Each structure stands twice: as structure tokens, then as C-alpha cells.
């Protein structure tokens, strides 16, 4: 066996072992901490918690006189096209929102980030910047607040719940 | 199947995935613009990049992202050549590097197809290097890498579902199908109307995913039938869940799995 084959074989064995261990909770933290290029795949598709919610970003404004505007949907992605089994670029924006929501939940539950600390986190800043850009304010709007709405179901009677409510931010 | 045939089929499927994924990322270029959802102006603030350098701004701009994605598409097109050639290593290597870059740049929005695409590109690069240098052992390391990660992918996916009360209780399928992001109205109606069927399907997915390692020891004909069933599973996911990009990289693992099947059975003296 050549030196190159031996070295690469050793690397692949290590890679497979680290991948296997990275799915065991005590090792997950350490692997994700050092794996900056995501060289270690995560294979737990839709488990243990299946993606059972749709997420929507909504925003409202507080006007000069203290009045609150209606919640307004922030259009991040369009519904899945009929030929999504062949061509489905829209899934990326939906996945970004999904990942951002999961990241906010992780910061809350596992990293102990407080309400006052959350606005300095990456997913929060991404969502805040997006609502600022995509939601045109009322003429006399002074502040904005965004929320993440969870929904499930395909028809118009589906239930909506608020998963996250942001602080008010000056426009 | 010999390693050369395995490399040829795998690189063809990698090429298709590269073209599809590059086109889909390019269609989402707006996400990466300075005012986009994945603006680098915000992402550069992450903890490990607390001291951003000027080069980062250029390297991770939306123009650089488009250049890398275009390079992936070109490398994918070059891999469509119907024979092994000296460019295969460079093209697969570039696709692998582009996977690392996209993962680093996007932070959010990548999925399992991107991970398996990375695995396949690394495996094809190693296989191609082995074939180019006439080193069969080196080429086989690429086969081993792909087959090993494929086994982990299916087995871990099944094991993670097994420890989940939602999957064990048979509710996961109905819940996923009732979303607009990953579900399907027809499948949601069937799952809601026939909870027993939904329960059986959840356990069917758990068991079949966890049984994947058996493909290395069963007779080749059985392995081919089993892999055909796994392929149908991916086509069904593409149709019902919109997971179109998963099909190509997961199918690309099957030639390596078949080659490992022959090797394992030969080592065990079963053929």
C-alpha cells in the first residue's frame, strides 16, 4: 500500500469515527465547536424532532402617536412549485428561516442567552436586518417589532401560533 | 463492478448534483447580497470571525459566491465526460472545496444533500487520483469513504428516529406532511385519515434505515434490489417533500456500496 493510500485511509477512518461520535450528545458540542467548515456531516434527518412547523416572519410598526400598525407578512419565499421534485431553489430561503428559528431556540434553551442578550445574536440580527429591508414602514413609524409565526396544515383554517416576539427597535 | 466503472457512474451523478445545486444556489444569489437574508455584513460578526479582515469581505461577497458556484457548475459539466480523465481529480477537488466554501459562507440554509455532495466529491477526487496514478488501493480509499458515510447517513438517520417519541409513536409522518415546507396535501390527508398506516410507515422508515449496513453482506442481487428500494424512497421524498437535491448524491453512493459488498463478501469467503 502506497504512503498516500495509507495516509488517506487513516484520514478517512478518523473522519468516519468522528462523524459517528458527533451524533452522540456529549461529543456534539465539541465537534461543532471545531468544525468550522462543516466537514463532519450531521445525518439525523428530521429526527429526533421532525420539522413539523412552517415559519413566517411578520412585522408591525409603532407610530409617532403610539398607535401599532397591523402585522404584515415579510415575503421571504414563495410556495413550493409543482415541479419541486426537479427544481426547487425556493427551499433555501425557507431553510434559512427554519435554521434561524432553531438557532434562536438553541441559544435560549442550551446556551442560556437572555432576552437582553438575544438581539446581539447572529440569527436575530439577520432577521432584524431583513424585516428592516423588506417591510416598508408607515410614514410616521418610529419603531418596529417582528415576530415568528408557526403554522401547520395546508388549508386556510390552519392554526397560527407566535413562536417568538422581538423587542421594539428604532427605525 | 470494477473501480473504474464505479468512478464513472459516481462522477456522472456528482456532475448532475453539482449542476443542479449550483443552479439553485445561483437562483438564490439575492440572499447573499449586502441587503440579503444572508448578508456578509451580519454573518461576519459571528464569534469565530470577531476580527474580520478585509480579505473576508471580498472572499465572501456575493460576487465571490457567484464565482465559486459558477466554478462548481463548470467542474460538474466537465465531469460529464464519458470516460475517466486527468481532469476528474481537479474537478471533483474543486467541487469539494466549493462545498466547504458554501458551508462556511452561508451558515444557514444548507441541507443534507450539500453534506452528501461534499462526501461524494471527496470520494470521487480520491478515486480519480488513484485511477490517474494507477494506485488501486488509493482509489479504493475513495470507495471506502463514500460507502462508510452512506452507511452512517442511513443508520444514524434511523437511530435518531428510534430515540424520538414522535417517530416511535407514529406521529412524525403526519406532522411533517402537514407542513407546506416539507409536506404534501395528499400525503397529509392520507396520513391524517389512516393513522395506523402512518404509524406503520414511521416504523418502516426507522427499520429500513437502520438495516442499511446489511447491504454489505447480503448476496449482490439482494443488495441491488435493496438499493433500488432506497432509491424509490429518495424519489418519493423528492416528490412529496420537495427534497429534489437529495436524489443525486445519495444515488451516487450506491456504486461504492456495491463495490464494498463484493469486497466484504470476498473477505468473508462468501463468493
Q: What is the pLDDT of residues B158-176, one digit of tens each?
A: 999 999 999 999 999 999 9
pLDDT cut 70: percent of chain B above it:
97
Chain B residues inside the 8 Å CB shell of A121: none
- Is the Cβ pair B110, A95 closer than 8 Å? yes
3-state SS class at B54: helix
Minimum distance, in Å, between the CA of residue B162 and any CA atom of chain A: 8
Instruction: Name which of B96, B131, B141 is nearest A5 in CA terms.
Output: B141
pTM above 0.90, yes or no: yes
Highest mean pLDDT among A74-78, A135-139, B108-112: B108-112
Section B130-143 average pLDDT? 97
Show the cell assigned to B85.
480523465
pLDDT of A133 strictly over 70: yes
Tell me the residue range of the domain where A131 lies: 54-170
Task: Determine the pLDDT at residue A126.
Answer: 93
| Total domains present in chain A | 2
- Is the Cβ pair B179, A152 closer than 8 Å? yes
Minimum distance, in Å, between the CA of residue B244 and any CA atom of chain A: 5
Section B20-49 average pLDDT? 89
Query: Cα(A144)–Cα(B175) distance, rounded to whole angstroms?
Result: 33
3-state SS class at A55: strand
- Is the Cβ pair A54, B167 closer than 8 Å? no
Do A89 and A118 share a structural domain?
yes
Chain A residues inside the 8 Å CB shell of B129: 4
Chain B residues 7-36 within an 8 A CB cutoff of chain A: 20, 23-25, 27-28, 31, 35
pLDDT of A84 strictly over 60: yes
Supply φ then ψ for residue A59, to 5 degrees: -145, 150
Show the cell assigned to B142.
475513495
Do A127 and A78 share a structural domain?
yes
Q: Is residue A25 part of a domain?
A: yes
Furthest-apart CA pair in chain B: how many Å?
61
pLDDT of B22 strictly over 90: yes
pLDDT of B261 strictly over 70: yes
Query: Cα(B153)–Cα(B147) distance, rounded to whole angstroms?
Result: 10
Do A29 and A113 share a structural domain?
no
pLDDT of B101 strictly over 90: yes
Q: Is residue A135 part of a domain?
A: yes
To the nearest whole number, what is the mean pLDDT of chain A?
A: 90
Do A86 and A19 share a structural domain?
no
Long-range contacts of A8-17 (CB under 8 A, 24+ apart): A8/B126, A8/B138, A8/B141, A9/B137, A9/B141, A9/B144, A12/B141, A12/B144, A12/B145, A12/B148, A15/A39, A15/A40, A15/B145, A16/B145, A16/B148, A16/B149, A16/B152
Name the packing angle between helices B195-210 and B185-193 (round to 10°).
110
- Is the Cβ pair A85, B242 closer than 8 Å? yes
Strands A159-165 and A72-73: unpaired
Residue A12 is nearest to which of B28, B42, B148, comparing CB atoms?
A: B148
Chain B residues inside the 8 Å CB shell of A50: 164, 166-167, 172, 175-176
Instruction: Name which of A78, A65, A57 is nearest A134 in CA terms.
Output: A57
Q: Is residue A45 part of a domain?
A: no
Q: Is residue A12 part of a domain?
A: yes
- Is the Cβ pair A125, B31 closer than 8 Å? no
User: Residue B67: how many CA atoms within 13 Å on its side-chain side?
Assistant: 7
Query: Cα(A7)–Cα(B141) distance, rounded to whole angstroms?
Result: 10
Name the packing angle between helices B112-132 and A3-21 (round to 10°).
170
Do A102 and A26 share a structural domain?
no
Chain A residues 36-95 within an 8 A CB cutoff of chain B: 36-39, 41-55, 76, 79-80, 84-89, 91-95
Neighbours of B184 (CB within 10 A): 21
pLDDT of B65 strictly over 80: yes
Do A90 and A27 share a structural domain?
no
Q: What ipTM does this complex have?
A: 0.94
Q: Is residue A48 part of a domain?
A: no
Alpha-helical regions (H) of B133-215 = 136-162, 165-168, 172-177, 185-193, 195-210
| Total domains present in chain B | 1
Task: Determine the pLDDT at residue B56.
Answer: 79
pLDDT of B190 strictly over 90: yes
Chain A residues inside the 8 Å CB shell of B24: 87-89, 92
Do A30 and A99 share a structural domain?
no
Tell me the residue range of the domain where B63 lies: 3-267
pLDDT cut 90: percent of chain B above it:
89
Amino acid at each position: 500500500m502506497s504512503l498516500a493510500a495509507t495516509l488517506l485511509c487513516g484520514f478517512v477512518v478518523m473522519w468516519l469515527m468522528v462523524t459517528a461520535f458527533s451524533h452522540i450528545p456529549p461529543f456534539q458540542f465539541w465537534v461543532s465547536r471545531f468544525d468550522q467548515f462543516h466537514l463532519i456531516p450531521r445525518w439525523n434527518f428530521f429526527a429526533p424532532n421532525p420539522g413539523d412547523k412552517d415559519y413566517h416572519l411578520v412585522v408591525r410598526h409603532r407610530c409617532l402617536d403610539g398607535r401599532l400598525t397591523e402585522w404584515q407578512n415579510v415575503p421571504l419565499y414563495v410556495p413550493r412549485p409543482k415541479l419541486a421534485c426537479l427544481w426547487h431553489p425556493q427551499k433555501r430561503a425557507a431553510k434559512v428561516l427554519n435554521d434561524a428559528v432553531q438557532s434562536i431556540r438553541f441559544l435560549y434553551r442550551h446556551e442560556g442567552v437572555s432576552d437582553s442578550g438575544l438581539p446581539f445574536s447572529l440569527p436575530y440580527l439577520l432577521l432584524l436586518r431583513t424585516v428592516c429591508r423588506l417591510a416598508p414602514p408607515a410614514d410616521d413609524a418610529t419603531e418596529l417589532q417582528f415576530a415568528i409565526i408557526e403554522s401547520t396544515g395546508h388549508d386556510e383554517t390552519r392554526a397560527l401560533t407566535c413562536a417568538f416576539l422581538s423587542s421594539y427597535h428604532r427605525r | 463492478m470494477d473501480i473504474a466503472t464505479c468512478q464513472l457512474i459516481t462522477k456522472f451523478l456528482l456532475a448532475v448534483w453539482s449542476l443542479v445545486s449550483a443552479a439553485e444556489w445561483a437562483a438564490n444569489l439575492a440572499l447573499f447580497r449586502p441587503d440579503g437574508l444572508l448578508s456578509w455584513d451580519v454573518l461576519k460578526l459571528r464569534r469565530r470571525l470577531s476580527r474580520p479582515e478585509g480579505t473576508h469581505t471580498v472572499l465572501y461577497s456575493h460576487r465571490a459566491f457567484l464565482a465559486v458556484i459558477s466554478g462548481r457548475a463548470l467542474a460538474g459539466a466537465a465531469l460529464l465526460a464519458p470516460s475517466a480523465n486527468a481532469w476528474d481529480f481537479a474537478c471533483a477537488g474543486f467541487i469539494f472545496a466549493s462545498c466547504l466554501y458554501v458551508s462556511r459562507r452561508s451558515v444557514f440554509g444548507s441541507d443534507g444533500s450539500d453534506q452528501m455532495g461534499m462526501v461524494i466529491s471527496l470520494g470521487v477526487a480520491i478515486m480519480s487520483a488513484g485511477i490517474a496514478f494507477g494506485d488501486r488501493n488509493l482509489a479504493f480509499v475513495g470507495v471506502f469513504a463514500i460507502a462508510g458515510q452512506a452507511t452512517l447517513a442511513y443508520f444514524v438517520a434511523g437511530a435518531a428516529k428510534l430515540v424520538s417519541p414522535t417517530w416511535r409513536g407514529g406521529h412524525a409522518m403526519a406532522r411533517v406532511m402537514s407542513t407546506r415546507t416539507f409536506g404534501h396535501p395528499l400525503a397529509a390527508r392520507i396520513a391524517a385519515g389512516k393513522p395506523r398506516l402512518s404509524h406503520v410507515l414511521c416504523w418502516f422508515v426507522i427499520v429500513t434505515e437502520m438495516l442499511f449496513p446489511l447491504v454489505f453482506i447480503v448476496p449482490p442481487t439482494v443488495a441491488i434490489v435493496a438499493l433500488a428500494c432506497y432509491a424509490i424512497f429518495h424519489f418519493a421524498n423528492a416528490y412529496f417533500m420537495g427534497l429534489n437535491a437529495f436524489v443525486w448524491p445519495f444515488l451516487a453512493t450506491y456504486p461504492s456500496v456495491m463495490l464494498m459488498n463484493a469486497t466484504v463478501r470476498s473477505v468473508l469467503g462468501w463468493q
